[in-house]
Copies of this chain bind each other. A is one copy, B any other.
Amino acid sequence: MSEYQKYLDSAISELRRGTLVLGVLSALDKPMYGYSLIQVLHSKGFLIDQSTLYPLLRRLEKQEFLKSDWEIEDSRPRKYYVLSESGRKFLADLIGEWKSNIKIINSLLD
């Protein structure tokens, strides 16, 4: 892979980086487990890998923005995550920041 491509990939990954939390939290309005979350987000064009999502979910739970429950009734054990109250507020705050950022960047790009 060319140096150029390497740097571009890296910059693209940096671009996505901040939006990861946004994408994940916004999807967890309703309870969902990790593996299915990957597929749901994927189907909407939001690509996220296992190795990115699982650590992120754990971190967000530690920070108390997500609650989790193991469902062992299903065909196989699944850990369902959902927004906590605090997480709901956090998401709202982040969305505000995101929208403000978009305006600023778009004005720079004109």
Which residues does A use to contact B, with CB under 8 Å? 3-4, 7-8, 11-12, 14-19, 21-23, 26-27, 41, 44-46, 63, 65, 86, 90, 93-95, 97-98, 101-105, 107-109
B15 engages A19 (CB within 8 Å)? yes
Q: A105 CA to B86 CA in the complex, in Å?
A: 21
What are the 10 closest A-B residue pairs judged by CB atoms, nearest first? A15-B18, A14-B18, A45-B104, A12-B97, A26-B108, A7-B63, A46-B104, A19-B105, A18-B18, A17-B18
Q: A8 CA to B53 CA in the complex, in Å?
A: 19
> Within the complex, which residue of B15, B103, B104 is in contact with A101, where a contact is CB–CB below 8 Å?
B15
A109 engages B95 (CB within 8 Å)? yes
A102 to chain B: closest CB distance in Å? 6
> Within the complex, which residue of B41, B44, B86, B108 is in contact with A23, where a contact is CB–CB below 8 Å?
B108
A101 engages B19 (CB within 8 Å)? yes
B108 engages A46 (CB within 8 Å)? yes
